Amino acid sequence: MIWNFVKMHGAGNDFVVLDGVRQSLHVTPERARALADRHFGVGADQILLVENPSHPEADFRYRIFNADGSEVEHCGNGARCFVKFVHEQGLSHRNPLRAEISTGLLTLDSTPDGNVSVDMGPTHFDPKDVHFDTDGLESTTQGTDTLWLLPIPGHGNIALSLVAVSNPHAVQIVDDIDTAPVAQIGPIIESHPRFKQRVNAGFMQISDRHTIQLRVFERGVGETLACGTGACAAAVAGIRRGLLDSPVLVHTRGGPLGIAWDGQRVIMSGPAVTVFAGQIDIDALTEQLTTKDPLTP
Ligand SMILES: N[C@H](CCC[C@H](N)C(=O)O)C(=O)O
């Protein structure tokens, strides 16, 4: 079966975007992994599937699959690419658009400068909102935030802010973003048994009260050049810790994102870029990746 797709990115967080409105597509974990594969497939951090909505107030529904095939709640950078895709593909010219995701409705507003402003929805801070087991764990407070002290062998107790922006995030402050142990402890936190649905691990360096630098080891992907929900989570965590004031400029390795938080909902603004369009035989691709490695006896 031939699938049409568009390759896009938001601040370097890259996506394969699929039109499930005019094509009949069934995205399975295997197919998502195959499309995301950077050697045998198209290559992407996430796969975005645009569909007709089930919510009466939504223009479209969009679903998100990580590179490991897991379907997840939200994708901030993807939301900006979604609205550019819908407009460029002529699926709708409405602006702002209302997008239905698994946790509710988003409002997406394409601005004349080519950026997109996204109402990312509500923020939550209870450990249960990020499916975190606090049993027997020490915590402390900073400002209005609760920091959970997670022991990581060789790295002591890591003070984590827990923030749900639909997706689960665990944010820590580091002194130097360039030497932060993202590769060493990102995977440990991402798959730590206390996070029952895994977690996105954010590493934030504070530059001033309105500026941070951020790296995120994303759940189901690894370190990405940018993470939209991660930028929201880090900015909100810094504000709650009393270290930042809204709005916050978040410098990621893929470019800057603007975050504003009113204490309830978080608004993110940033770029969305179309790289190329293509077609792929999804069955041949998935078959290639699920057959045995020819080098293995
Ligand atoms: N890896 C995330 C999903 C993608 C989020 C990120 N790409 C964004 O822009 O928000 C998770 O499993 O929760």
Q: Which residues contact 15 (CB under 8 A, 6 or more apart)?
A: 7, 8, 9, 44, 45, 46, 47, 48, 75, 77, 78, 81
The reply to whether 121 falls in a domain is: no
Tell me: do 187 and 159 sit in the same domain. yes
Instruction: Show the low-confidence residues of the chain (pLDDT under 70).
Output: 292-297
Neighbours of 210 (CB within 10 A): 14
Residues flanking ligand 1, CB < 6 Å = 13, 45-46, 64, 66, 72, 75-78, 167, 200, 218-221, 227-229
Residue 102 contacts residue 245 (beta carbons within 8 Å):
no
What local confidence, expressed as pLDDT, does residue 60 receive? Answer: 98
What's the CA gap between 76 and 175, in Å, rounded? 26
pLDDT computed for residue 145 by the predictor: 98
Ligand 1: residue of 116, 229, 269 to mutate (most ligand atoms within 8 A of CB) is 229
190-209 pLDDT per residue, tens: 999 999 999 999 999 999 99
Question: Are 121 and 108 contacting, i.e. CB atoms less than 8 angstroms apart?
Answer: no
Query: What per-residue confidence (pLDDT) applies to 51?
Result: 97
Whether residue 284 is found in the same domain as residue 251? no
Atom of ligand 1 nearest to the CA of 168: 13
Note whether residue 216 is domain-resident. yes
Output the pLDDT for position 210.
98
What is the number of domains present in the chain?
A: 2
Per-residue H/E/C for 91-135 = CCCCCCEEEEECCEEEEEEECCCCCEEEEEEECECCHHHHCECCC
233: CATH: 3.10.310.10
Based on the domain organization, do 240 and 131 belong to the same domain?
Answer: yes
Residue of 64, 227, 244, 272 marked active site: 227
Q: Confirm whether 296 is domain-assigned.
A: no
13 CA closest ligand 1 atom index? 7
pLDDT tens sequence across 98-121: 999 999 999 999 998 889 999 999
219 and 101 in a common domain? no
Structural domain that includes position 39: 2-115+272-291
Residue 205 has which token pair?
């360096």
Q: How far apart are CA 261 and CA 235, in angstroms?
A: 8
Cis peptide before 127 (omega within 30 of 0): no
What's residue 290's pLDDT?
A: 81
User: Is 23 domain-assigned?
Assistant: yes
The closest of 253, 217, 243, 246 to 232, measured between CA atoms, is: 246
pTM exceeds 0.90, yes or no: yes
The answer to whether 172 and 188 are in contact (CB under 8 A) is no
CB contact set of 227 (below 8 Å; sequence gap of 6+): 13, 76, 77, 200, 202, 214, 216, 218, 252
Are 259 and 283 in a shared domain?
Answer: no
Note whether 178 and 215 are within 8 A (CB): no
Residue 232 bears catalytic tag: no
Considering the domain architecture, whether residues 260 and 284 belong to the same structural domain is answered as: no
Check if 81 is active-site: no
DSSP character at residue 53: -
Question: Using CA positions, which residue lies closest to atom 4 of ligand 1?
Answer: 75
Beta bridge partners of 173: 204
